[in-house]
Structure formats: C-alpha cells, structure tokens
C-alpha cells in the first residue's frame, strides 16, 4: 500500500489572489504526485489546509484536490476552521463536533485513524477527554489490523525552539494514555513543523512531513522572545511531500520535493550490469 501525504498548505495566505504563491506550490506538488508510478492508493492532507480558515480558501482547495484520481483524506490543523471546512467537505465524518474518523476499506491492508488536534486560538495541539475517549474506543474495536494514526500536531519536542511542543503537556499525556496497549499501531503521521522529521514517540514510529507552503529553517538554538537576533525562520525551499510505503511488515517513509531534479544517471545499457548484479544478489539471499 502506498500513502501520499501533503501538509501545511496554508491556502489563502494571500487573500483574493487567484494565483497566490501557496496555490502554485500546492499545484506543483499535486502534479508531481499525480505523475508518480505507481500511483498512491490515497492522499493524506494533514492540516493547516488554509491559512485563515475562510470558506473561499476551502472551495479553492477542493478544486485543487480534484486533480487526484484517488481518495483524499484531510485533517484539521491550527489554522483551520471546522465550520468553513464542512461547507466544502461535508463528506468527511465528524464526531462530537470534531473532525475525527476511521478509513478502513475491506481491501485496504492498513487501517487509518484520523485525529483532530485543533483548539481555536491556539497554535499548539489539543486533545480533550472527548476526543481521547472516541480514540480509545476506535482502537479497541480492532486490535489485529495494522493501524496508522494521522494527526496535524506531532506530540514531540522538536529542538526547534519556536516550533515545538511541551512533552509534558496535558494533551500529549492524554494521547499517550489512549494509545497504551495498542500493539497494532505501526506508525504515526503528522505535519505542522514544515520540516521532515523522523523519530520514535512512546515506542511508536512517528514521521513529520515537510510542507507544500514555505519551509521552516533548521535552527536548533534557543530563542529569546526579547532579543530578535535576525535568524532565518521561514525559507523558500521547494514544496515537498511524503510517500509512506507499507510493505506488509513496516511503514517506510520517503520524502521528496516537487522541483525538477538534475539527473546524473538513468537506467540505460550503461547501468544495466549494475541492476542485474543487484537483483541477482538480492534474489540469492532468499
């Protein structure tokens, strides 16, 4: 199974501009994904779908995502608005007012549980008792099928001082408590940080996808709110995406960007002996 992921689209950052920078970056990324062979089985859009949570930006997002010939499953980020989102995505399930749902087609080898970590007015994540109770019930329904947890906010201390979570926060504790005793969870997929990150949290593999919008600069120094030091914060690196490959044993994450790549080698007669050797070597290890 192949899962594509985009995140932190921030559509509508430039209101009223039909050719805004973030829309161009989104379209560029979707074209790269739609040109892939093989095609993904589905696409996750992991929050901050819009920048200001306005209805028109969700309308334009719906139009852009129409380029995909496979299901698209979104979740809420801190820049999103549930009511505005529902106006153009009424087919996405909600529970108790939260955009939380399960994707579990019979022929699908992985079960996906999509969580809502939005708290209006708050930049960081949130996960109240209502959401946690729903989550625990969904985990308890199926304890055998490999399961992936999808959310916007990664529950980790990232090292990027201004874009991180407090690992002792209450919402993180509730999320961790809900996931105790869930051995069939094979990975967690998140966004929010605008950078690629791979780590382990509470024993669970966690991957964070870079954004289609501009990226966050990699700077692990502490930051003093009272002393602007002119460090770079947002950089115009290429729009990016993730591919999560389930091989039946592990969830393997690849990241790529949507810019053109300079080819240094391609599979022609010059490279054929190497490919033959590598294939024969691997088959001989069986």
- 57-78 residue pLDDT tens: 999 999 999 999 999 999 999 9
Looking at the domain assignment, is residue 229 inside a domain? Answer: no
Structural domain of 214 = 2-219+237-284
Is residue 228 assigned to a domain?
no
Number of domains forming the structure of the chain = 1
**The pTM is what?**
0.96
Q: What is the mean pLDDT of residues 218-230?
A: 97
Asked if residue 52 has pLDDT above 80, the reply is: yes
List of E strands, the chain? 2-6, 42-46, 72-75, 101-103, 111-114, 147-150, 185-190, 197-201, 204-208, 215-216, 234-235, 240-246, 251-257
Say if 204 falls within a structural domain. Answer: yes
Tell me whether residue 164 is in a domain.
yes
Alpha carbons 170 and 176: distance in angstroms, whole number: 10
Q: What is the pLDDT confidence band of residue 16, given thresholds at 50, 70 and 90?
A: confident
- pLDDT digit string (tens) for 114-153? 999 999 999 999 999 999 999 999 999 999 999 999 999 9
- Cα 148 to the center of its chain, rounded Å: 12
Q: Residue 286 — pLDDT band, cuts 50, 70, 90?
A: low
CATH number of 136's domain: 3.60.21.10
- Report if residue 226 sits inside a domain: no
pLDDT at 252 over 80: yes
| 19 in a structural domain | yes
Q: Give domain status of residue 231, yes or no.
A: no
**What's the pLDDT tens digit per position in 177-190?**
999 989 999 999 99
pLDDT band at 285 (very low <50, low <70, confident <90, very high): confident
Q: Indicate the pLDDT class of residue 262, thresholds 50, 70 and 90.
A: very high
Is residue 225 situated within a structural domain? Answer: no
């Amino acid at each position: 199974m192949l899962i594509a992921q985009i995140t932190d689209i921030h559509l509508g950052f430039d209101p009223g501009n039909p050719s805004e920078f973030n829309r161009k970056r989104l379209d560029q990324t979707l074209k790269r994904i739609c040109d892939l062979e093989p095609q993904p089985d589905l696409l996750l859009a992991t929050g901050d779908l819009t920048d200001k949570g306005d209805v028109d930006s969700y309308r334009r997002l719906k139009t852009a995502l129409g380029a995909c010939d496979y299901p698209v499953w979104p979740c809420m980020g801190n820049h999103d608005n549930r009511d505005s989102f529902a106006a153009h995505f009424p087919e996405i399930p909600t529970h108790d007012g939260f955009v939380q749902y399960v994707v579990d087609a019979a022929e699908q080898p992985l079960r996906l549980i999509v969580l809502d970590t939005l708290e209006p007015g708050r930049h960081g994540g949130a996960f109240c008792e209502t959401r946690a109770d729903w989550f625990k019930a969904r985990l308890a329904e199926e304890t055998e099928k490999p399961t992936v947890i999808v959310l916007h906010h990664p529950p980790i201390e990232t090292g990027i001082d201004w874009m991180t979570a407090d690992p002792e926060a209450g919402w993180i504790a509730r999320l961790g408590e809900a996931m105790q005793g869930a051995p069939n969870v094979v990975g967690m997929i998140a966004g929010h940080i605008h950078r690629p990150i791979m780590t382990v949290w509470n024993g669970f593999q966690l991957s964070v996808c870079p954004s289609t919008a501009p990226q966050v600069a990699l700077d692990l120094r502490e930051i003093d709110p009272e002393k602007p030091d002119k460090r770079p914060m947002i950089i115009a690196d290429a729009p990016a995406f993730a591919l999560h490959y389930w091989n039946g044993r592990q969830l393997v994450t690849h990241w790529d960007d949507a810019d053109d790549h300079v080819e240094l080698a391609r599979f022609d007669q010059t490279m054929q002996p190497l490919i033959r050797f590598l294939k024969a070597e691997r088959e001989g290890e069986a």
